[in-house]
Amino acid sequence: MTHENQQLRTLADLKPGERGIVAQVGGEGALHRHLLDMGITPGVSILLQKTAPMGDPLELHLRGYALTLRVDDARKIVLRGDDEDVEDPGYATPNAHPQGLPH
């Protein structure tokens, strides 16, 4: 379901503590593939945890893990929505990391 007033913004536009849902992953060639391989795919919820002291890189939380991304790369990721649009962000608990495969 889409809303006419829904604004699109990039991952670089988020402030610490804000989150959004990936609408589109930009970049070309190897960069595009690398972003997808890191789990940044359309529909995933991303939280901007914090930024480095000089503003670059960004510390993100998605799919239950932390990820660091350069601001230039974050500008290539278009988000939709806001906090109210995220039903199950998947990173609410600090111990959400998988513990590995059973032996």
Q: What is the pTM of this model?
A: 0.71
CA distances from 25 to 32, 44, 53, 83 (A): 7, 11, 26, 20
Its domain, for residue 57, covers 14-85
Tell me, what's the pLDDT at 55?
A: 87
Residue 66 domain-assigned (yes or no): yes
> Is 92 domain-assigned?
no
Residue 99 within a domain: no
- Per-residue pLDDT band for 9 (boundaries 50, 70, 90) equals very high
Q: How far apart are CA 16 and CA 56, in angstroms?
A: 12
Number of domains in the chain: 1
Domain presence at residue 64: yes
Q: How confident is the model at residue 38 (pLDDT cuts 50, 70, 90)?
A: very high
pLDDT at position 85 is 46
Q: Does residue 7 sit within a domain?
A: no
Residue 5 placed within a domain: no
In a domain, 97, yes or no: no
pLDDT in tens, 62-97: 999 999 999 999 999 999 865 444 444 444 433 333
Read off the pLDDT band of 8 (50, 70, 90): confident
The CATH number covering residue 35 comes to: 2.30.30.90
Return all residues near 91 (Cβ < 8 A) that are at least 6 apart.
45, 47, 61, 62, 63, 64, 65
